[in-house]
Structure 1
Amino acid sequence: MSDALQIKSGSLRIGDVAPDFQARTTHGPAKLSDYRGRWLIFFSHPADFTPVCTTEFVALARHQDQFEAMDCALLGLSVDSLYSHLAWVRAIEDRFGVNIPFPIVEDPSMAVGRAFGMIDETAADSAAMRASYFIDPEGVIRASTCYPHNVGRSVDEMVRLLAALQLADKADVLVPEGWQPGDDVLQIPPLSPTDIDREDDWFCRKVKAP
């Protein structure tokens, strides 16, 4: 049985270890723990052959090289069957000339989606399912986003958030609103009362990104 099935639905939070599971994907059998050692964006979509999801998958595929350069894998999921996934991937390639290079997990029982809080435990279907989890190389959930079924995610924002998480880890800095790679970052405020008294910008000081 998948470890994910033992986790209470919707209980995952930032800082939790992502529950492991094994499932069939468009690239063969896979475990979530297979991705340990690198970053992972694990994201769900309501259904195959839906308009918004198609635009997201095309955009993610076109950013694949950028995610790879950031040492981050992509893993999709929906409640549809493996055969539906394969047909949809082929249809995207035929229609848009884009190959989907990342695996898509099948979840017809909605067990994984519910375990990750991607689907409410009382939901009859996956209509509200458009969630993303940013998981670090240790398997820890570092950020998550949730969008309604009728609004698509921004892949540029997914890249920005990943870059911000990686920079904050590497340099022990804070990342301000609207930050883009190359912009200044924020210094962590001092703990010494002496420093606070001496420097009037102690609580929000920008510094060059390392």
Structure 2
Amino acid sequence: MPTLRLGDTAPDFQQDSSEGPVSFHQWAGDSWVVLFSHPADFTPVCTTELGKTAALATEFAKRGVKPIAVSVDPVDKHKEWIADINETQNTTVNFPILADADRTVATLYDMIHPNASATATVRSVFIIDPKHVIRTTLTYPASTGRNFDEILRVIDSLQLTDSHKVATPANWKDGDDVVIVPSIQDPAELAERFPKGFKAVRPYLRVTPQPNK
């Protein structure tokens, strides 16, 4: 299976989950999706990650994002684990966990890295847009929990680029200045898109206040 790259269409699949059968593209609809894998149920780092995802339900919803998790464990084990996540993380898991026992999803998305583990999925993240296009991929080792603030930051950046034709500089956070993409050169379009003006540090480096603030 070829490695998935940015700009590729996220593979469709049908798989069982903690919330019943999922046909991925149909389930995603016209939402953004964060598809993320975890090595195994009832493991410490994964428990904190799924608890954090549940706690961020409002943040995901206001960005039009649906989270969905996956591991190679079966549905019955997922359901037992969800109760444990809810209790230990003081939350309510409110998104499906795919039961990928036959490794359909893990294979399609290249989530098993044999040199790390021949059986468990690595901590992969795929941020997928409403057209089912892969916009970001992240991979973490089993021992390192993901930074969900960073995942939300990337989503904010992608959505801002799509809506306002800007890019986000190093360490950007929502509300900080942004940069105008080089493809916009027409003065009339610049004036229309960026009524607050911009500072041309260099011809290729034009800094402007975040347009939607």
State the identity as a percent.
36
Q: How many residues in Structure 1 have an aligned counterpart in Structure 2?
A: 195
> Which letter maps to 1:84?
K
* Aligned mate of 1:176, from 141, 154, 169: 169
The whole-number CA distance in structure 1 between the counterparts of 2:107 and 2:8 is 16
The whole-number CA distance in structure 1 between the counterparts of 2:168 and 2:128 is 18
* Aligned mate of 1:124, from 118, 123, 129: 118
1:95 and 2:96 equivalent?
no
Corresponding residue number in structure 1 for 2:13: 21
Corresponding residue number in structure 2 for 1:203: 204
Which 5+ residue runs of structure 1 have no aligned equivalent?
1-7, 193-198
Q: 1:107/1:177 Cα in 2 relative to 1: closer, same or farther (>3 Å)?
A: same
Q: Is the 8 A contact 1:23 1:29 kept in 2?
A: yes
- SS of 1:167's equivalent in the other structure is helix
- The offset of 1:22, in angstroms, is 0.7
> Which letter maps to 2:203?
W
Q: Deviations over 1:61-114 (max 9, x none)?
A: 111111001100000000000111000001112233311001000011222112
Q: Runs ≥4 in structure 1, deviation > 6 angstroms? A: none
Corresponding residue number in structure 1 for 2:157: 164
Structure with more of its chain in strand, by fraction:
2
Q: How does 1:55-74 map to 2 (within 5 A)?
A: 55-74=48-67
The whole-number CA distance in structure 2 between the counterparts of 1:63 and 1:200 is 37
The whole-number CA distance in structure 1 between the counterparts of 2:40 and 2:161 is 34
> Which letter maps to 1:12?
L
Q: Is the 8 A contact 1:78 1:106 kept in 2?
A: yes
TM-score w.r.t. length of structure 2: 0.86
